[in-house]
Structure 1
């Protein structure tokens, strides 16, 4: 997701193309399913990011990985599993599945390609209703450590070509960050656009993990600190 708050520069040197490996990921998830406990409904909000078998965790819910696009990449040494299935697209008991035209709400699970341990996950939403419901769940953690809604006085939004957008014609946008001291996870939640052009993205990761600095830099999640 690209935010108009910041001009994002992508570093392709840290990325790994995953579309060619989805068959291997599917096989891993099938073989590992039996070793994963499947007690109660799956809920993203309960993940600790210490889960040792991401493919098995998903396969245990009888969910098959979906094709990953060229832009849905991950870091070198990691793989990614994608699903729009309601069985794994749930946060705080809220069903986040849905679609806006051809765009389906989905979750991307990023995991270590050697140990299969879950590293972090990204939820992509294209429906305002589900994004609003997710925001309410996130707000249960309290006031975000950072919140920005719209543009401040004197700020100018830029289009994807870097050209200024006339004031009042810029897309609606919001960005919030929660640092949860209880589970030591960080929640980055951004919203952009409206109607058929709406999109929202939640990234949940552990800042102390070895991958965190690279992913935060790649996705410009800490743009507000600059």
Structure 2
């Protein structure tokens, strides 16, 4: 499975790189070609060769980076058998597979918690929300309920500064405090699965009937997945043709 996944990633990277060579001329623009803007641009003459727009280049670059990341993950998994990361990964996959669920990988860019929430809302409920909007709503709730959240910060941390950075800095990662705020602000029930501990929930109040009406999101929490430590992924339902908890992107 890992070998096939790595081979597929390599093939897609090579295909995109080859396409870029075809579509992106190396010389300066000629014959009135427009370089600025995101609109599609075409060469003159009879060839009809299409130049990709800046927006397309950005999307392809992001796609390439994600493919390379997945390739590295697959390679690291081969080399890490028996290590904490591999053990955690296998235990969590098995636990989720028993519930007919699997992991959907989220980029480890500081936004993982907020990205996982946005992905869950989209895939489970068809709601489109940006990662920064999830951050904004989270921090809005923190500020509106300062007396409930400030005591959980270290004494040396200024609450206002903490909120400002959490709201605007996409590399500022969130944790239990932010999950609690998001679940309350957006009226969500959030279950977080771990490899070696029972799942923990946010937004699960004493009113059972009220809880049943809430939208239910599912995340996974990884202690050893990345070198910085903690990481959140999105948990999705398995397709009928799937039999294990293999992570996918």
TM-score, with normalisation over the residues of structure 1?
Answer: 0.30
Q: Whose Rg is larger?
A: 2
Greater relative contact order structure (CA < 8 Å, 6+ sep):
2
TM-score, with normalisation over the residues of structure 2?
Answer: 0.28
| The structure with more helix, counted as a fraction of residues | 2
